[in-house]
Amino acid sequence: MTRQASPPTQTHPDQTTLRRALSEIKAGRFEPMLAVLRPYAKLDDPQVQTLLGLCYAGTYEPRKAAELFCATATKNPLAQHPLQDLSEIMVALDRREDVLPVCREALKLTPKDARVHETLGGMLGQMGQFDEALEILREAVALRPNNTLAANLLAMVLAEKGNMEEALDVLHTVKEEHPDHAGTLSNIGCVLSGMGQLEEALDFYRRAITYRPTNAQIRLNHSITLLKAGRYAQGWAEHEWRFKLPGHTSLPPEQLMPSLGPNTDIRDKRILITQEEGLGDTLMYLRYIEPLARRGAIPHLWVPDTLGDLCRRVTGALEVQVGGSTPEYDWHCPFISLPRVFAATEDAMGAAVPYLKADPDKVRYFSGFMPRNRKLNVGLVWGGAPRPNLVGPYMVDRRRSMNLSTLAPLASVRGINLISLQKGPYAEQMMDPPENMVLYDPTDDLHSMDDTAALIMSLDVVVSVDTSCVHLAGALGKPVLMMDRYDNCWRWLHNQTTSPWYPELRIIRQKAPRAWDGVVQEVTHTLEQMVKQKRKAGR
């Protein structure tokens, strides 16, 4: 008699295989990893089941993903739900929409699991679907009334929607029950800072720091409010806590450039100045390169390609590098740390405007793009860089940017030419402009910030939301009307219409969250006055 062979015993994948699977999943390669992991589907292993669930979610099988996630989560009701892992991965891949069906299936399977509500509500809030997000998060709070996470998420979505007072009410209720919860205290500070109540906000941040003195995010938020209040010296020092967060720099902390004192000798020291966050930050802090060189240092700027040519004309920029590997240096310093370096010197505000210069040949070239009708040439920017793979910048962009249709009243201003400076996704809105709006569009010829700088020199004024174009035009010494969001960036201080950084900048700010109509009305009136002045001057 022939004996039938037994089926092979299912083995467990080794940790190398699991780490590789997670890395590939984070890169969006769900289908190949599903093939790798499927042979282990019957293993009772939370790590394997979670990875399989991620693969099913990424290959558009939300029910299978939810079943695996919920089975894993039910075994450990106090742990973070696997849906949160899915949320973070999909945000990084700009696939937020694909989180929602998995969460909805999970709700059907485990309707009483507050963690599912929290993940779904948080994602809906990120996507601007505020009403449903609030409904879901209120259910989460009802399911776990003593849980600080659900209530804090609810408050943050309320604040994001613009219901600041209601957000504070929620947070204060949590504070009464959990007076030592640093996250709640910090979030109260965040909402108050957005409302411009800076001293009260700072008090709550200080209380949060008492309980969590080494929490880098709380310390960074504290620094932003200090800077918004104009407390620069303390704010710059506190802002260095950002290095404790991932992604800011891979360079060694022991070689970070120290703050300059009266007797600090930096002659012949090679300072590697590095790009850290957005283009606007770099454009703002290029003002410190000339003071560095004046002290005998050798500034070596390492910048993105779009800034290369512009940076080469900055006084004192002895070396400008685009791409490549880390060069030799004595100290390194991200652009955002330069104000801290100079805080105790006579150059605390850097070189005077204009510290950027456009290419004369390009200025002549782009002047040919301007209409020859003696009208006021107005550069226009209505949207920033969305950066959808990052939570914070993505949500800020929704508040600082607007739809081109919101600027429809500008079409009624007689005596102006509207010149688009808009790049990126928002530029697509020019395909359907407001009625009677004529937009000149030279942006196909703008391949770098150096090109944009040359075009700006032929404009009379730049009208922009809070983007890198504001910094570029301001640093060139050109007039700017900045349309600012209610919870403005610290750079523009609080309750100010001018800026110590850019003398030709005028700030026109929302009076309430997401309320652009009053801003556009004031911009319209200001442009009308500028037209009258131009005509009176006979230009």
360-538 in CATH: which number? 3.40.50.2000
Mean pLDDT across 422-437 = 94
Are 69 and 50 a contacting pair, CB within 8 Å? yes
pLDDT above 50: residue 9: no
Tell me how far apart the alpha carbons of residues 394 and 180 are, in angstroms, rounded to a whole number. 30
* pLDDT for res 85: 97
In the predicted structure, residue 1 carries a pLDDT above the cut 90: no
**For a pLDDT cut of 90, what percent of the chain falls above it?**
91
Answer whether 255-342 and 360-538 agree in fold.
yes
Q: Measured between alpha carbons, how far is 152 from 158 in angstroms, rounded to an integer?
A: 10
The residues spanned by each domain of the chain are 18-244, 255-342, 360-538
CATH 1.25.40.10 for the 18-244 domain, yes or no: yes
Report pLDDT digits (tens) over 86-104.
999 999 999 999 999 999 9
Per-residue pLDDT tens digits for 322-360: 999 999 999 999 999 999 999 999 999 999 999 999 999
331-334 β-sheet, strand order: 319-322, 298-303, 270-274, 331-334
Determine the pLDDT at residue 52. Answer: 97
DSSP helix/strand/coil, 303:
strand
Judged against a pLDDT cut of 90, whether residue 294 lies above it is answered with yes
Q: State residue 175's pLDDT score.
A: 97
CA angle 279-283-287, nearest 5°?
Answer: 155
Cross-strand partners of 508: 483
366 token code pair: 């782009």
pTM of the model: 0.93
Confidence band, pLDDT 50/70/90 cuts, at residue 539: low
How are beta strands 319-322 and 416-420 bridged, if at all?
unpaired
Mean pLDDT in residue range 9-20: 82
In this prediction, residues 299-312 reach a mean pLDDT of 97
Query: What topology does CATH give the domain 255-342?
Result: Rossmann fold (3.40.50)
pLDDT at 249: 78
Question: Is 366 a residue whose pLDDT tops 70?
Answer: yes
In this predicted structure, what is the pLDDT of residue 10?
A: 57
Res 250: pLDDT: 83
pLDDT at 8: 42
Pairing of strands 439-440, 416-420: parallel
At 537, give phi and psi (nearest 5°): -80, -10
Q: Are 223 and 186 in contact (CB under 8 A)?
A: no
- Flag whether pLDDT at 158 surpasses 90: yes
Query: What H or E segment, with its residue span, contains residue 125?
Result: helix 114-126
Interstrand relation of 416-420 and 480-484 (parallel, antiparallel or unpaired): unpaired
* pLDDT attached to residue 74: 94
